[in-house]
Each structure stands twice: as C-alpha cells, then as structure tokens.
C-alpha cells in the first residue's frame, strides 16, 4: 500500500467526523470531504499499477466507512466513475476529464444501478438513445443516482436499437432534470437524485463505450470490489462499539454469543481477500467476498446493538446508525438477491 495514512486520518478528523450526525440526521452531503481527498492525491492513479490503485482506494473507502458509511458510499460512487474512465478507450475522457476527477476539481457518480440489474435480467433498461450527428440523444428516467451536485458527472447506459451505449453525463447538461430524494432511514446524506432525461444530447467525446454490455463485463469486478470495504468499515466500527461497552452491567456482555473478537476475525479475513484479489480481480471471487461481507456486516451490527442494550435504541446513537448503514449495504446494487443470482450463474 502506497498511501499516506496520517494525512488521510487528518482529513477524516477535520472534514468528516464533525459532520457525521448532520449527514445522518439532516441529509447533509459531505462534499468538501471528498474534494479534500482528491486535492490530497488519494485518487491519483498516474504513478500506480492497478493492484496498488485498488488497494489504496479501497483503504480510503474503509477508513471513511469506519466513521460514516453514507459518505464512504459517496466515495465509492466517485471511484466507480473513475473506473469507467480509466477502463475506457476514449482519449478525451482519459486526458481531459480523468485528471480533474482524480484531483477533486470534478466529482463522479455511478448511474449504473438500473443497467447492472438489466444485464442480470432483473429490470428493463430505463434509458433509450438515438444516434444523431455528433453523439446521442437520450430520454428516460433513472430513479436514483447518488453523489450528485453541480460539479458532478455520472455514467449512464441507454438502449440503441438492439444494443446499448454507455456515456458520461454532466449534471449541468441541458434537458437533464434532477429531483432530490430524501427520507431514507439511512444514507440520507448521499446526494441522491432522480434523473429525468428529456432529449439530452451527449457528444461523442463523452461516450465511454459504444458496446456497453461488453464494457460492463470489464468494469463489474472493480465496481463490486470497491463496495466490500464499505461493509468492512462498519464491521470494524461495530467491534469497537462492543469493546467500549464491555464493562456494562458488571461485564454481563461477556455472555453474549458474538464478541468483538469474532468481528475482528471476519474483518481480517475480508481485508486479506481484498489484498489478494486486487492483484487479479475476478467476478466469481469478488461476488463471493461481497456476499459474505454482507452477512458478516449484518451479524456485526446486530451484535453491537445487543451489547449496547437500551442505549443503542436512543435516536442518534452510533449503534443504531451502524445498523441502518448495514441494511443499506445489503441492498446496495448488487443487492443480496442479485448477488445470490450472480453466484449461481458464475
């Protein structure tokens, strides 16, 4: 790993920890934190091989998720967008936009929840495109795209006849209407919007891949890889929460079946798998890791609630926030049921 851990922790302490409750309770979007990560070079890929990029950026997601998984999810959204461009053959995107996305000048989002489900036979594709001179015109609605704002770009896939095209969309594009979605029990501060495309023109220079289906096969393992540390961070935080209350009620918590030691063992196993898989990420192995990470995360937050007792049920408690974060992790695309289907097919 080639990452400045002290610098990362300093940014977390300065930009994230003070706003965690605001993120959870007031749907505050910690945009400044993600920008600071970019400015500090944590998304810079210019001098790293692919394995180091994966390991370093997964570590950023992990450390963020220990404090606030909602914001870590936003970091994951940004990393997904980086992945699209890094693996695209589009010279303009790689030379003109990628550096700005890596240095925090611009931020990115995924936009592929619906297409990932489409390619697994779970949903119909929500966007359609028409090939025109100089690019594509896109219509349709994406129900939820997270990590959006004024300086943001996101990936989108639309049907074009019998195939699909993948493009990069600026939130400032004419004909694109964004409507904020809030009221979730978790991840309120994820800057999530419904995106309505009304004859949105996307120039050819913003086409990520003409053959979107084949391109998704390329990016899917990395897409899922970056999700795993979301759960690992929550597991670590839950284990820490259990240790903090071990003396509660004269140490009675020692009789509970799941203790912090088991959570740390699960955490270590997940991190070791991520380290190994970074050198050659395969869809089959990362799907299995991601699926197990969900089960481990759910076990961890439930144990943390039991160890905290009544204090965990107080509104605003860390234990209850971690519980809600874990359920979001389980339902993040690919969801548990989606992962189970993928596992059978692989």
Percentage of the chain exceeding pLDDT 70:
100
- The two structure tokens encoding residue 19: 């706003």
- How far apart are the C-alpha atoms of 97 and 82, rounded to whole Å? 10
Do the domain assignments include residue 218?
no
Do the domain assignments include residue 38?
yes
- How far apart are the C-alpha atoms of 212 and 210, rounded to whole Å? 6
Do 115 and 98 share a structural domain?
no
Do 276 and 170 share a structural domain?
no
Please report the pLDDT score of residue 340 as a whole number. Answer: 94
Do the domain assignments include residue 165?
yes
Do the domain assignments include residue 219?
no
Do 120 and 201 share a structural domain?
yes
DSSP character for 17? G
Do 258 and 202 share a structural domain?
no
Domain span holding position 180:
109-212
Structure confidence by residue, pLDDT tens digits, 33-59: 999 999 999 999 999 999 999 999 999
Do 303 and 276 share a structural domain?
yes
CB 147 within 8 A of CB 74: yes
Do the domain assignments include residue 220?
no
Do 91 and 134 share a structural domain?
no
The DSSP bridge partners found for residue 79 are none
What CATH number is attached to the domain comprising 324?
1.20.140.10
Mark which of 51, 84, 107 sits at the end of a domain.
107
Half-sphere exposure for 8 (CA within 13 Å, toward CB): 19
Nearest to 82 by CA among 64, 99, 63: 99
Measured CA distances, 87 to 83, 234, 258, 271, 320 (Å): 6, 29, 42, 24, 38
CB 90 within 8 A of CB 260: no
Do the domain assignments include residue 190?
yes
Do 149 and 101 share a structural domain?
no
Say yes or no to pLDDT of 1 above 60.
no
Total domain count, the chain: 3
Q: Bin 77: left if φ > 0, else alpha if -120 < ψ < 50, else beta.
A: alpha
Do 39 and 130 share a structural domain?
no
Do the domain assignments include residue 221?
no
Is the full-model pTM beyond 0.85?
Answer: yes
* pLDDT band, very low/low/confident/very high, at 183 (cuts 50, 70, 90): confident
Mark which of 91, 107, 123 sits at the end of a domain.
107
Structure confidence by residue, pLDDT tens digits, 191-228: 999 999 999 999 999 999 999 999 999 999 999 999 99
CB 103 within 8 A of CB 207: no
Do the domain assignments include residue 222?
no
Average pLDDT of the chain, as a whole number: 96
What CATH number is attached to the domain comprising 160?
2.40.110.10
């Amino acid at each position: 790993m080639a990452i400045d851990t002290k610098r990362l922790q300093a940014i977390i302490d300065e930009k994230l920890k003070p706003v965690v409750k605001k993120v959870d309770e007031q749907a505050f979007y910690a945009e400044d934190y993600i920008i600071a990560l970019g400015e500090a070079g944590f998304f810079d890929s210019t001098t790293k091989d692919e394995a180091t990029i994966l390991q370093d950026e997964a570590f950023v997601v992990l450390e963020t998720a220990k404090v606030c998984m909602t914001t870590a999810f936003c970091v994951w959204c940004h990393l997904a967008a980086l992945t699209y461009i890094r693996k695209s053959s589009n010279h303009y995107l790689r030379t003109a936009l990628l550096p700005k996305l890596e240095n925090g000048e611009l931020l990115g989002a995924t936009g592929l929840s619906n297409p990932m489900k489409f390619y697994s036979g779970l949903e119909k594709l929500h966007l359609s495109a028409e090939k025109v001179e100089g690019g594509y015109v896109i219509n349709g609605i994406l129900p939820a795209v997270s990590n959006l704002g004024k300086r943001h770009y996101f990936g989108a896939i639309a049907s074009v006849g019998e195939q699909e095209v993948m493009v990069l969309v600026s939130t400032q594009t004419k004909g694109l209407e964004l409507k904020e979605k809030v009221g979730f029990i978790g991840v309120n501060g994820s800057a999530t919007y419904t995106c309505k495309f009304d004859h949105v023109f996307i120039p050819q220079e913003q086409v990520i891949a003409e053959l979107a289906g084949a391109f998704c096969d390329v990016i899917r393992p990395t897409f899922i890889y970056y999700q795993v540390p979301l759960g690992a961070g929550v597991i670590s935080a839950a284990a820490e929460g259990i240790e903090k209350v071990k003396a509660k009620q004269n140490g009675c918590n020692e009789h509970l079946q799941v203790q912090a030691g088991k959570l740390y063992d699960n955490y270590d196993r997940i991190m070791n798998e991520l380290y190994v898989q970074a050198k050659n990420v395969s869809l089959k192995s990362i799907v299995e890791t991601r699926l197990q990470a969900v089960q481990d995360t759910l076990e961890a937050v439930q144990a943390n609630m039991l160890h905290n007792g009544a204090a965990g049920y107080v509104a605003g408690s860390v234990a209850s926030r971690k519980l809600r974060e874990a359920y979001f992790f389980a339902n993040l695309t690919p969801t548990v049921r989606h992962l189970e289907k993928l596992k059978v097919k692989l």
